[in-house]
Amino acid sequence: MNHARSRIWELVEVSYDSDSHSPVLDWYDTGMMALILLNVLAVVIASVEEIGGRFAWFFSAFEVFSVAIFTVEYIVKLWACTADARYAHPVLGRVKYALTPMVIIDLLAFLPFYLWFFMIDLRFLRALRLFRLLRVLKLGRYSQSLALMAHVFRRKRSDLMAVALVLLVMLVIAASIMYYAEHEAQPEAFSSIPAAMWWGVATFTTIGYGDVYPITPLGRVLGSFIAILGIGIFALPAGILASGFSEEHERMRNECNRNVCPQCGQAIDE
């Protein structure tokens, strides 16, 4: 029983973070990724009234099939997680595992389906259908690229938070400046500093919808300066993430080459 539990745990969980290329693990990961992508595609296509109404029976059947797969996977994970030393306790270990972020995402992928049976408000039921899109977050388990991206975000979170704080401060300053420069000329568009923040966001992101813009000479001068400044500021997160990916790829390359002979390229037995 313990051996079977360990094998199942390796299949449904350990494979996400391991370098194993077992055919069974590869087929399992590929199959789950395909199922998740098909679920998201079904949600998108079903929103087209002509298609969603005509093939409602198909989408409903596919929903039931998908929920059954996700439910069984979730239950199997809870059963097998005690094979891991971190979750060895039969009760507290399973609770600890169930509260991990990725497992919570697994739960949210199918839980709204069962809530339908306990809800009466039809408007709330329609809102619950949107939670099916959360299944796309499960891709992080089966895609090494998404896992790499999440790892880079975790490593660079302090830098990104610092940049976010700078952006927030700059947004408040820009909105305040434009409020005092444009309020008298445009009392509706720049009615308050929070209202001016909409212009600040559109300008900093270089989108410039054109629904709110300065008309006074001072406002235009300040707006031009803020727009140019926004280009540089919003380039900071991209630079941080680019350096993070470069560092992570370099680290992975060093780990791969650590046990390889530099002359022949063959693996060195430890």
Q: Kindly state whether residues 49 and 121 are assigned to the same domain.
A: yes
Q: Kindly state whether residues 88 and 197 are assigned to the same domain.
A: no
CA atoms within 13 A on the CB side of 250: 6
Q: Kindly state whether residues 21 and 118 are assigned to the same domain.
A: yes
Q: Kindly state whether residues 247 and 116 are assigned to the same domain.
A: no
CATH number at residue 220: 1.10.287.70
The pLDDT score that the predictor gives to residue 263 is 45
The pLDDT score that the predictor gives to residue 130 is 58
Mean pLDDT of 196-203: 85
Mean pLDDT of 190-214: 81
For residue 65, pLDDT beyond 90: yes
The pLDDT score that the predictor gives to residue 72 is 92
Q: Kindly state whether residues 7 and 114 are assigned to the same domain.
A: yes
pLDDT tens readout for residues 221-240: 988 888 888 777 777 888 88
**Residue 32 · residue 76 · CB < 8 Å:** no
Counted domains in the chain? 2
The pLDDT score that the predictor gives to residue 16 is 46
**Residue 2 · residue 82 · CB < 8 Å:** no
118 found inside a domain: yes
265 found inside a domain: no
**Residue 161 · residue 137 · CB < 8 Å:** no
245 found inside a domain: yes
CATH number at residue 105: 1.20.120.350
Q: Domain ends where: 142, 170, 199?
A: 142
**Residue 124 · residue 115 · CB < 8 Å:** no
Range(s) of the domain holding residue 44: 2-142
Largest CA distance in the chain: 78
Q: Which residue has the higher pLDDT, 26 or 85?
A: 85
